[in-house]
Amino acid sequence: LREIEAMCTSMDLSQEVIDTTKQLYKRTVEEKVMRGKNKIAFYAACIYIACRINKVARSFKEISASTQVSKKHLARAVKNLVATFELNMGLMKSEDLMTRFCNRLGLSHEIERTCSKISQRIEELGFLTGRTQNTIAAATIHFVASIRNISVSIENIACVSGMAVPSIKS
């Protein structure tokens, strides 16, 4: 549990998310889901699921990078836990990530709201189908910043979102 708390703290997660993660982990141990499997992958999976339950937007890629667990092992552990506990997690949307990205870039709430509305419309129309939520959020911020003549470099957006510059540009 200390290791889980340390991982969550390093990702700046709230106490509520930490507590949910611990509860998920305890349940995982009690139901013997982890037998013979990668424990750290299950720690990461519990963190990911707790974030989704508490509506804290953290992408798969962020959890994977923060916990040093490959996306493949993380995906397998998440799938295992979701099936075992019959969890119903909604899909993460790009608007969920928008607040954090805009705050890190120092953008106003007005810009954030504009970005959220545009990304919501993009998803409704299916323009960027097949792209990750991080990419959609980053591209939307870049689009709005360029239209509004806000000086935010695409490199800064890429750094904050964890996406590559060419992905954002395309």
Say what the pLDDT of residue 1 is: 85
Q: What is the pTM of this model?
A: 0.77
What average pLDDT does range 25-42 have in this prediction? 88
> CA 19 to CA 3: how far, in whole Å?
13
pLDDT band at residue 101 using 50, 70 and 90 as cut-offs: very high
Mean pLDDT of 85-109: 87
Cβ-in-10-Å burial (0-12, 13-18, 19+) of 129 comes to: exposed
pLDDT band, very low/low/confident/very high, at 91 (cuts 50, 70, 90): confident
Has residue 78 got a pLDDT over 80? yes
pLDDT at position 129:
84
Indicate whether 25 pLDDT > 90: yes
Report how far residue 50's alpha carbon sits from residue 39's, in angstroms, rounded to the nearest whole number. Answer: 16
